[in-house]
Amino acid sequence: MVLLQLFISFIKIGAFSFGGGYAMLPLIEEEVVEVHRWITTAEYVDILAIAEMTPGPIAINSATFLGYKVAGVLGSAVATVGVVLPSFMVMSLIFVFVLRFKKSPYVNWIFKGIRPVVLGLIAAAAVSVGGNTFVDLKSVLIAILLFVLVTFRDLNPIFGIVLAGALGVIFF
Amino acid sequence: MFFKLFTTFFKIGAFTFGGGYAMLPIIQKELVDIRKLISEEEFMDAIALAQASPGSVALNTSVYVGYKIKGLKGAIASTLGSVLPSFIIILLIAMYFFRFRHNEFVDSIFMGIRPAIVALILSAAYQMWKNSRKTYIKLFSSIATVGLVVFTGLNPIWIVIAGAVSSVIYHKYYWPFQEERER
């Protein structure tokens, strides 16, 4: 039963998250933390950290990890297939109808409407993850430092995470 | 060719850190520059369609490029290739990580990493906003999305659908009316 729920949740996540990566986070959080309560917000953020640090797309990494946490190896297989399947099917359809898709103004309008929502979803992910993260001034300082380094100094995000982990050991 | 596509995408999946967008330049180098399996323009089309479609951008690009090179078989090969490394690596970490998760040292590392994740997400949003054509309507939709997700807990799926529907209505009925009036 839990396997079927996992599968359906990750199909939903795969099918309705536009913009890839970070834009998928609020949906994943909604499904696994809010709706099904499989994990806590703190566990969710830890999984995100690991998904960021390991190779490959974040969505697939977090699906595999969450699936394992909820229902072991079988769970991780089910969640991964679930998150991949909509991509595969939608891209297949697009490949077949690519020219027709390109010409329709409706498709263009739909994407114009979705893009700012995607941006909002990414910002919302930061707000909801941040709500449980900022325990004191030190964690706020780490966030500000990392934001400046990654945004304006082109620091590689992986090095950023390693740096933040080191700061965590020093500060906490 | 099936095996070659698989190994190429496996390599890409196994060695690109930092999520989907970090994989794109490497896919480009392997398939366009080195192996010349598709042209530069075809690759750009693939990325545009991948970004416009639901799901992971890197994965969508892999599926499309696979189709382009070898049809359905190619798409299956490239999808398996780009998913398997993630799957194997994460599974190993998940199995091993939970053994030493409750440890003070690991806890303090994660105390530092959590704020960094917030910073990375904000940085991505900031860069997207900076690179987009800024209008008040877009700003309003983005802020409304944040408000709805954070304060009402509305499922993001509905906001995505509302964004798409309202944009179609706006462009179909409001825009022609505006042009008429200006004339």
The reply to whether A138 and A101 lie within a common domain is no
The reply to whether A24 and A76 lie within a common domain is yes
Residue located via tokens 């991509």 = A87
> Closest to A87 (Cβ–Cβ): which among B55, B113, B139?
B55
Q: Mean pLDDT throughout B118-141?
A: 82
Q: Chain B residues with CB inside 8 Å of A83's CB?
A: 55-56
- B72 pLDDT more than 60: yes
Domain extent for A90:
2-119
Domain count of the fold of chain A = 2
Residue A75: its pLDDT value, please?
94
> Closest to A20 (Cβ–Cβ): which among B51, B141, B145?
B51
Mutant choice from A28, A44, A60 vs B, greatest count of B C-beta within 10 A: A60
Angle at A102 between CA A101 and CA A108, to 5 degrees: 90
The reply to whether A83 and A162 lie within a common domain is no
Whether A8 and chain B come into contact, CB under 8 Å, resolves to no
Whether A148 is in a domain gets the answer yes
Whether A59 is in a domain gets the answer yes
The residue of chain A nearest to residue B110, with distances taken between CA atoms, is A165
Residues A24-47: tens digit of each pLDDT: 888 888 889 989 999 998 888 888
The reply to whether A71 and A150 lie within a common domain is no
Whether A139 and chain B come into contact, CB under 8 Å, resolves to yes
- Hey, are the CB atoms on A166 and B112 less than 8 Å from each other? yes
ipTM of the complex: 0.72
Whether A27 and chain B come into contact, CB under 8 Å, resolves to yes
Whether A129 is in a domain gets the answer no
The reply to whether A110 and A142 lie within a common domain is no
AA identity, residue B77: A
Residue A9: its pLDDT value, please?
92
C-alpha span between B138 and B160 (Å, rounded): 13
Q: Which tokens go with B133?
A: 């054509």
Whether A110 is in a domain gets the answer yes
Q: How confident is the model at residue B35 (pLDDT cuts 50, 70, 90)?
A: confident
Q: How far is A36 from chain B (nearest CA, A)?
A: 13
Q: Are B13 and A55 in contact (CB under 8 A)?
A: yes
Helices (H), chain B: 2-15, 20-28, 40-52, 57-97, 104-131, 136-147, 156-169, 175-182
The reply to whether A138 and A114 lie within a common domain is no
Q: Are A160 and A146 in contact (CB under 8 A)?
A: yes
The reply to whether A30 and A89 lie within a common domain is yes
The reply to whether A113 and A142 lie within a common domain is no
Whether A115 is in a domain gets the answer yes
Q: How confident is the model at residue B158 (pLDDT cuts 50, 70, 90)?
A: confident
What is the SS3 string spanning B38-73?
CCHHHHHHHHHHHHHCECCHHHHHHHHHHHHHHHHH
Whether A36 is in a domain gets the answer yes
Q: Which tokens go with B112?
A: 């530092």
Q: Where are the domains of chain B?
A: 2-97, 104-182
The reply to whether A94 and A149 lie within a common domain is no
C-alpha span between B59 and B172 (Å, rounded): 33
In total, the C-beta contacts within 8 angstroms joining chain A to chain B are: 356
The reply to whether A75 and A104 lie within a common domain is yes
- B45 pLDDT more than 80: no
Whether A167 is in a domain gets the answer yes
Q: How far is B10 from chain A (nearest CA, A)?
A: 10
Whether A128 is in a domain gets the answer no
- Hey, are the CB atoms on B56 and A109 less than 8 Å from each other? no
